[in-house]
Amino acid sequence: MHGSIPGTAVFTSIPILSIIDRLPSYLLRSDISDSKEMPFDRLAWDYTERKPNYRQFCQDMSTKFLRMPTELRLRDTTSGSIRLAVVFLRPWFHKMVQDDFGLATLKLRELAFVIAQWPGQWWVRDHIEIWELIPLMVQTLAEEVREKQKYEVGQEVKTLQRFVDDLEQLVRQYELQIASKKGERRISWSSKALQHFTFPRRIAHKRSDTDTTLVELPEDKVVQSAPEASTHPPRLRPSSMAETLSCVCTGLLFGAFITMCIMNSQRRTLIMNLT
C-alpha cells in the first residue's frame, strides 16, 4: 500500500454516493439495518475525520477483510470487484461492448483484478481460483450486456416502425376523406349552378355596307352553348386543414426517425447485480 495518492494519478473523481451500493462488503458496516440512517453511516471508516490517514485506512480495511469468512472474501474479490469495476467504466463499457468486444472485456478484467487486490495482494495471489473466475465472469457479463442491447434496440425499432405505420395510415385516411369531399363539392356545384345560372344573351356585330348594328342571337343558340361553359367549373381552393395536417405528420415522421437514430447511438445501460 502507498502512503498517499499523487494528484497526477487521479483521472477523475466519482461521488461516493453514486457507488456506495456497489462497494465490496469489507468497505461497509454490517451492523447498519435502519433505512433511516444517513447513507454515509454505512461506510466502514470514519468519514468525519478531517485529516484522514491513507495508510491507516488501508490497514483497517485489510484487517476487516481478513476477519471475514473465506466464502465472503472470495465473493468480494470476484463478483464484488467486477460490480465496482463496471460502475467505474460505465458508460464506456456499454458502448465498447458493441464497438470492440475484446477491448471492453480486457479493460474490465484488468480493473477487476486491481480492485480484487485492494484488501490483500498476498491473499489474492495465493488463491488461483480468483484469476480463473474473474475472466469467466467478465466474459459472461459482456455477452449478456451485448445481447440485451441488441434486443432493446430491436424492440425500439419495432415500436417506432409501428408508430410510423399508424401515422401513414392516418394520413391516407384523411387524404381519402378530403378527396371524397372535393368530389362531392364538384358534383354539387356543376348540378346546382346550371339550375340557377342565367346565361346572358349573346350580342354579335352585324356589318353592313353603310354601318354596323347590334343583333341579339336566338335563345336556343344560347342554351346550346350553356353545357360547354359548364364543363370548366372554377377550381376549389385546397383545404388549409389538409395542408396543416400533412405538415404535422411530416414533422412527426421526421422526429421519429431522429429519435430512432439517437436511441441507436445512445443505448440504455444495463445494471447487473452479481452476488
In the chain, where the domains are located: 7-151
What is the residue type of 112? Answer: A
Question: Count of CB atoms within 10 A of residue 62's CB?
Answer: 17
Cis peptide before 91 (omega within 30 of 0): yes
Q: Of 160, 145, 101, nearest to 272 (Cα)?
A: 145
Which residue spans within 80-235 are E strands per DSSP? 203-207, 212-216
Which residue spans within the chain are E strands per DSSP? 203-207, 212-216
Q: How many residues does the chain have?
A: 275
Which ranges of the chain have pLDDT less than 50? 1, 193-194, 197, 199-200, 202-217, 219-238, 266-275
Question: What is the distance between the alpha carbons of residues 120 and 127, in angstroms, rounded to a whole number?
Answer: 11
Residue 61's pLDDT is: 92
Confidence (pTM): 0.57
Beta-strand relationship, 203-207 and 212-216: antiparallel
What is the rounded end-to-end Cα distance, in angstroms, of the chain? 27
Question: What is the distance between the alpha carbons of residues 81 and 19, in angstroms, rounded to a whole number?
Answer: 12
Q: Which residues, in sequence order, are bridge partners of residue 216?
A: 203
The x, y and z cell numbers of residue 255, run together, are 422526429
Residue 204's pLDDT is: 47
Please name the residue that has the C-alpha cell 445481447: 147
The answer to whether 245 and 174 are in contact (CB under 8 A) is yes
Residue 272's pLDDT is: 42
The x, y and z cell numbers of residue 27, run together, are 468497505
